[in-house]
C-alpha cells in the first residue's frame, strides 16, 4: 500500500511548489516518494524532472475508478503526491473523485472567499469561448467537495497553525496534510538501451531507460549528440517554442518525437472552440463510456480528447501516433505505456 497525497487548485496557486516541498519532507524521512500529475501535457513536468523527482503522468482513463487508478499508480513507493489542476473542470475533477480526501491549495490572497475566486478565475478563462450552454464554472464544486478537504494556504507572509507554505517557500505542518491509501499495481519494463532526450517528456521514460541522458532545454548540446553520438533512442520532447525546427534526422537510431512540428508543418487545433457540453455531462461520459469512446461533442471545446487515449490531440488532422521510417511521432502527451502496448516502442 502507498499513501497518496492529492493537491488540487487553480494554476498559479503554488501546487507544484507545495508538492516539491512535501516530496523533500518525505524523502527526509527516508521514504520512497513519487510525484504524479494528471495528463496536462508538458506543463510543469520539466520542473519535476529538473528537481530529480520520480515523475509519472496519470492518464484520464485512470480516473474511471479507484481500481483503474491503481493500475496506473507506480509500485515501489511509500508515498505518492499527485497534483491536480483545474479541479472543478471535467478534466480535473475525475482525478479527485476516486479518493476520500484531498488537499486544496489556496493562495493567501484568495483564502477569504475561495469559491468566488474559483468562480471568477474559471469564468475569466472561458469568457473568450462562445458557449452553447448555460455555463456554470462551479457546477462540479459540490461533487468535488463531497469528501474530506484540507486547505493548504500558500504564499502566506507568516506561518499559520495549520499546513501552509510561506512566501519564503518553507513548508509548515506537513503532518496536517490529508491522504488516502492505494494499492499501486503499475510496473514498467526496464531497458539498458542508451537514450538521449531534450525538452519535456513523460518521466516514465527515466524509469524504463535508466541509461537516459536528459539535456534539459539545452537543444544546442542535444543536437550535437543527436547528429553524431552513439545512442539507441532519442526523445525529442516538447517545449513552448513552435518555431523550433530540426534539420537533422539521423537514421541509425530510434527517434520518438513529441513535438512533430520540428519536422512537419502541422495545423494546430483551433483555439476557442465553443463549449458545447456542460461539465457534468463530460464527467459522466468519462465514468460511463469505454476508453476511446467520445466524451465531448464534436467541434466543441473538449473534442480534441475524443481519441483512443483520451489525451489532448493538438494536431487534429493527424493520428495520435504515426511512424515515418525510424521516427515515431506523438500527437500529444502520449505515454510510453501506450507506445509499448501498440508496438511503437521496444522497451526490452
Partner 1 sequence: MGGGVNPPVVTLVEPEDPDIGDPVGAERMFTAECDQQATLTVYLDDDPDPVYQSDPGVQEVSYTFESAPLGQHMVRVVAANENGTGENYWNWNVYQYADCHVLSGPYLDFFIRHYRCGSSGCAGGSGFWSNAVCLENAVMRYARAGKSTPYTNVLAGCYWMEKIGCSEHCYVELVFNLDIYIVAVMNSSLVPSFGHAVCAQYLGGEMDMFSNWRFFQYDNLNITPGDWQMPYGSEWQETRVEIKEVIDIPNCGQYDGRPVATFLIDHEGNVR
**Which residues form the interface with partner 1 (CB under 8 A)?**
11, 14-17, 41-44, 46-47, 199-200, 216-221, 223, 238-241, 243-245, 247
Nearest to 152 by CA among 7, 331, 304: 7
Element (H, E) at 17: helix 15-27
Q: Which is nearer to partner 1, 238 or 257 (CB)?
A: 238
Q: Which is nearer to partner 1, 9 or 297 (CB)?
A: 9
* Least CB distance to partner 1 at residue 184 (A): 26
Q: Which is nearer to partner 1, 44 or 139 (CB)?
A: 44
Nearest to 104 by CA among 163, 181, 182, 27: 163
* Least CB distance to partner 1 at residue 245 (A): 8
Q: Which is nearer to partner 1, 37 or 122 (CB)?
A: 37
Q: Which is nearer to partner 1, 145 or 216 (CB)?
A: 216
Determine contact, residues 115/104, Cβ cutoff 8 Å. no
Q: Which is nearer to partner 1, 134 or 247 (CB)?
A: 247
φ and ψ at 2, to 5 degrees?
A: -130, 145
Nearest to 19 by CA among 102, 125, 101: 102
d(CA 99, CA 110): 25
Distances in Å between the Cα of 50 and the Cα atoms of 47, 68, 146 are 5, 29, 35
Q: What is the DSSP letter of 280?
A: H
- Return the C-alpha torsion angle 311, 316, 322, 326, nearest 10: -100
* Least CB distance to partner 1 at residue 215 (A): 9
* Least CB distance to partner 1 at residue 46 (A): 6
* Least CB distance to partner 1 at residue 197 (A): 13
Q: Which is nearer to partner 1, 42 or 151 (CB)?
A: 42
* Least CB distance to partner 1 at residue 38 (A): 14
User: How far is Cα of residue 98 from the mean position of the Cα atoms in its chain?
Assistant: 17
Left if phi > 0, otherwise alpha if psi is -120 to 50, otherwise beta: which for 216? left
Nearest to 242 by CA among 226, 224, 257, 259: 259
* Least CB distance to partner 1 at residue 7 (A): 12
Q: Which residue has the cell 498559479?
A: 12
Q: Which is nearer to partner 1, 71 or 269 (CB)?
A: 269
* Least CB distance to partner 1 at residue 26 (A): 19
d(CA 192, CA 33): 23
Nearest to 302 by CA among 273, 324, 340, 260: 273
Amino acid at each position: 500500500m502507498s499513501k497518496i497525497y492529492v493537491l488540487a487548485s487553480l494554476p498559479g496557486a503554488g501546487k507544484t511548489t507545495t508538492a516539491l516541498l512535501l516530496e523533500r519532507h518525505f524523502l527526509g524521512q527516508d521514504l520512497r516518494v513519487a510525484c504524479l500529475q494528471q495528463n496536462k501535457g508538458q506543463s510543469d513536468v520539466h520542473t519535476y524532472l529538473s528537481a530529480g523527482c520520480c515523475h509519472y503522468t496519470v492518464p484520464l482513463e485512470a480516473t474511471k475508478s479507484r481500481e483503474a487508478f491503481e493500475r496506473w499508480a507506480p509500485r515501489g513507493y511509500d508515498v505518492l503526491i499527485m497534483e491536480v489542476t483545474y479541479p472543478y473542470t471535467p478534466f480535473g475533477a475525475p482525478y479527485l473523485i476516486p479518493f476520500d480526501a484531498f488537499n486544496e491549495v489556496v493562495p493567501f490572497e484568495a483564502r477569504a472567499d475561495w469559491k468566488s475566486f474559483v468562480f471568477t478565475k474559471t469564468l475569466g478563462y472561458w469568457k473568450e469561448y462562445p458557449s452553447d450552454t448555460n455555463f456554470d464554472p462551479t457546477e462540479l464544486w459540490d461533487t468535488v467537495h463531497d469528501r474530506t478537504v484540507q486547505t493548504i494556504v500558500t504564499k502566506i507572509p507568516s506561518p499559520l497553525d495549520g499546513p501552509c507554505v510561506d512566501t519564503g517557500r518553507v513548508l509548515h505542518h506537513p503532518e496536517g496534510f490529508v491522504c488516502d491509501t492505494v494499492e499501486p499495481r503499475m510496473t514498467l519494463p526496464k531497458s539498458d538501451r542508451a537514450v538521449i532526450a531534450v525538452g519535456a517528456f513523460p518521466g516514465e521514460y527515466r524509469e524504463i531507460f535508466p541509461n537516459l541522458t536528459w539535456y534539459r532545454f539545452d537543444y544546442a548540446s542535444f543536437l550535437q549528440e543527436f547528429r553524431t553520438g552513439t545512442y539507441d533512442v532519442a526523445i525529442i520532447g516538447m517545449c513552448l517554442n513552435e518555431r523550433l525546427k530540426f534539420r537533422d534526422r539521423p537514421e541509425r537510431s530510434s527517434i520518438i518525437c513529441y513535438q512533430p512540428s520540428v519536422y512537419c508543418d502541422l495545423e494546430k487545433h483551433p483555439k476557442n472552440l465553443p463549449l458545447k457540453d456542460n461539465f457534468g455531462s463530460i464527467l459522466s461520459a468519462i465514468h460511463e463510456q469505454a476508453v476511446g469512446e467520445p466524451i465531448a461533442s464534436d467541434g466543441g471545446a473538449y473534442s480534441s480528447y475524443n481519441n483512443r487515449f483520451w489525451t489532448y490531440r493538438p494536431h487534429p488532422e493527424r493520428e495520435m501516433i504515426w511512424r515515418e521510417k525510424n521516427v515515431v511521432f506523438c500527437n500529444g502527451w502520449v505515454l510510453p505505456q501506450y507506445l509499448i502496448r501498440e508496438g511503437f516502442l521496444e522497451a526490452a
